[in-house]
Structure 1
Amino acid sequence: MNKKFWSFFIVIVLLCIVTVMSAVTGSIRMGIIEFLSAIWNGDSEKLVVIKDLRFPRIIVAIFAGAALSVSGVLLQAVMRNPLADAGVIGISSGAGFVSIIIVTMFPSLFFWSPILAFAGGALACFLVFSLSWKSGLSPLKIILVGIAINAMFTGLRDAFVTICSYIQVTVEGSMTSNLTMKTWNDVELIVLWGSIGLILAALLFSWCNVLVLQDKTAKNLGMRVTQTRVVIAAVAVLLAAISTVVAGVISFVGLLIPHISRRLVGSDHKLLIPFSALAGALLILTADTLGRTLIAPQEIPASTIMAIIGGPFLIFLLRKG
């Protein structure tokens, strides 16, 4: 058995274990045997409560982690930059800014919020591309411009919260990445749009493999580089947008997971994309489970845990060159 097989196998097993542990730990506790028995027989009152309170949260965490990780893989291929991440370069902030406007001002459009948030994320992505492009993509410029775009949309969001202080609780609740009080409506939203994005990403693996080459080489292979970049970037923005709409802004997932994944399964996007999805799901579900159990009954948002992990990781990558 090779390293790639064992990497997939271990991540899948760990994801199953953490899923069960997340379901049985908390204010309502069940033994693992009791939980599995209840799942099989369907006759436990505790299981009914867990289904309504924890299962939506678990599913949202899994899809959010998968979406953000794959979004990072796609953005890094498009920008040819190992530091690209939807949270770092402002795409999530752009999507989040539009999301809070929709949630607070036009709640009837909630089901369509991923498409509208996609527009905000696409605008942020366009600004990063256009402002950092100068006879080619400069990795350093992309990061610096992205940080500025991120700050701009974060400032606009904070200004909106301040101006509309009477709805501040609603706005803050819509942007929290604590994953608390998620409902089956949230699950329906992220499963539908997240699945579309992940399937499209998996189908684009061969384009991603060619894009990591120099533009001249890609053109010689018959690829329309600009159009390809737009299509792949659009899928990446969609994945970041749906995650932001349902789970809030969580940075560094798309930075951390692709780097680890490349070391384990290589740079072929045929394997890198599905493995990153699994590893990202494992990371966010683990972060959320730890966040709600370490200092229970208080909770640490998953975004906070990711910032604690991701910040030093970004510094390490920058120092490494």
Structure 2
Amino acid sequence: MNKKWISIVTVIILLVVVAFVSATTGSIKVSSIELVQGLISGTNKSVNIIKDLRLPRIIVSMFVGAALAVSGVLLQAVMRNPLADAGVIGISSGAGFISLLFVSIFPTLFFWLPVFGFLGGAFACFLVYSLSWNSGLSPLRIILVGIAINATFTGLGQSFNYRGSYAAGSVNQATTSIFTMKTWNDVEVMVVYGSIGLILSLLLCSWCNMLSLQDKSARNLGLNVTKARLLISIVAVLLSAVATAIGGLIAFVGLLVPHIARMLVGSDHKVLIPFSALAGALLILTADTLGRTILAPTEIPASIIMTVIGGPFLIFMLRRSGRIHGN
């Protein structure tokens, strides 16, 4: 068994183990056997509480991690830039702000929250591309403009905290990066929209491989480069938008996971995309579980844990980016 398959099997096993640990650890503790038996019989009161409170949180965190990681893979393929990430270049903050804005105006349209997020993410992505264009797209210019867009939308989103109304507080809590009080309605929204994005990303993996070539070589192979970049960007925005709308603003997942995944399974997107989805799910579930249990009953948001990890990693990537992409 080569390194690629060992990595895939290891991530799958770790994901299952962490999911069981997350489900059985906390104020209510049960064994793995009791958990399985209780889910089948439905007669164990402790397991029923876990089913209603912890399982939705676990499923949402895994889908959020998978969506953010795959979004990062797609954006990096489009931009040929290892620093591209929905959180870094402002797509997530744009999605978060528009989600806050629309849900505060139309609170009954919760199921359409990812659609609102997609509109915000698409608008942020358009701003980044248009403001970065200067006789071509420079990877460094994209990152710098993206950081500015990210700061702008983050500030606009935080302004909701100072409106002083109950509705604003409720909306802000609904899109926070703490997965507390996630329900099966959240699971339904996240699974429906997230699955659509993940399936579409798998269908686009061959285009991602061709975009790693020079544009002229890709065109010679019959690829419409502009169309491919546009469609892949749309799917990336959809994934980051639904993850932000349901899971809140979590940075660096789409930066950290694809880089590590390439070292483990290579750059073939037919393997890289599904592996990144599994690794992203494992990363966010682990971060959420640690945040929930390490200082219990106080919770540390998964976004804070990811910022602590991702900040130094971004510095490391910035130092290496010149050698990797020679810009």
Give the alignment's TM-score, normalised by structure 2.
Answer: 0.95
Task: Quote the Cα distance in structure 2 between the aligned partners of 1:42 and 1:66.
Answer: 29
1:142 maps to what in 2?
142
Structure 1: distance between partners of 2:253 and 2:43:
38
Q: Determine the C-alpha separation between the residues in 2 that align with 1:38 and 1:303.
A: 32
What SS class does the counterpart of residue 35 from structure 1 fall into? Answer: helix
Which residue number in structure 1 is paired with residue 258 of structure 2? 258
Q: What is the CA distance between 1:112 and its match in structure 2?
A: 1.3
1:282 aligns with 2:289: no
2:247 maps to which residue? 247
Residues 273-321 of structure 1: per-residue CA shift (max 9 Å, x gap): 0000000000000000000000000000000000000000000111223
Superposition deviation, residue 165 in structure 1: 4.2
Range with greater deviation from structure 2 (124-133 or 60-69): 124-133
Q: Distance in 1 between matches of 2:25 and 2:268?
A: 37
How far apart are residue 160 of structure 1 and its match?
3.8
Instruction: Give matches, 1:153-302, under 5 Å.
Output: 153-163=153-163, 165-302=165-302
Asked if the contact 2:57/2:181 (under 8 Å) is kept, the reply is: yes
| Cα deviations by residue, 1:119-150 (Å, 9 ceiling, x for unpaired) | 11001011111111223221111110000000
How far the C-alpha of 1:174 sits from its partner, in A, is 2.0
Paired AA for residue 191 in structure 1: V
Summarize the alignment of residues 58-73 of structure 1 with structure 2, pairs less than 5 Å apart. 58-73=58-73
Gaps of 5+ in 2: 322-327
Which consecutive residues of structure 1, in runs of 5 or more, have no partner in the other structure? none
Give the match for residue 11 of structure 1. 11
1:32 Cα deviation (Å)? 2.3
Q: What does the per-residue CA deviation read over 1:189-229, in whole Å, with 9 as the maximum and x for residues that have no partner?
A: 00000000000000100000011111122122221111111
**AA of the residue aligned to 1:156:** L
Task: Trace 1:92-111 onto structure 2 (pairs within 5 A).
Answer: 92-111=92-111
Query: Where does residue 32 of structure 1 map in the other structure?
Result: 32
Answer yes or no: is the 8 Å Cα contact 1:161–1:171 preserved in 2: no
2:223 aligned counterpart, secondary structure: coil
Helix, strand or coil at the partner of 1:37: helix
Query: Any idea what SS the aligned residue of 1:84 has?
Result: coil
Distance 1:215 1:161 in 2: 45
Counterparts of 1:56 and 1:33 in 2: how far apart (Å)?
19
Q: Name the counterpart of 1:20.
A: 20
Count of residues in Structure 1 that have an aligned counterpart in Structure 2: 321
In structure 2, distance between residues paired with 1:273 and 1:197: 12
| AA partner of residue 122 (structure 1) | A
Letter in 2 for 1:105: I
TM-align CA RMSD: 1.2
Tell me the alpha carbon deviations over residues 38-90 of structure 1, each in whole angstroms, 9 at most, x when there is no partner.
33444311111000000000000010000000000000001111000001100
- Change beyond 3 A, Cα 1:33–1:166: closer
Q: Could you tell me whether the CA contact under 8 Å between 1:97 and 1:120 is conserved in 2?
A: yes
Contact 1:103-1:174 at 8 Å conserved across structures: no
The answer to whether 1:121 aligns with 2:121 is yes
Query: 1:56: which partner in 2?
Result: 56
Letter in 2 for 1:261: A
Query: d(CA) in 2 for partners of 1:237 and 1:185?
Result: 22
**Cα drift, residue 102 of structure 1:** 2.0
Identify the residue that residue 311 of structure 2 maps to in structure 1. 311
Identity of aligned residues (%): 66
- Report which stretch shifted further, 24-33 or 262-271: 24-33
The aligned residue for residue 112 of structure 1 is 112
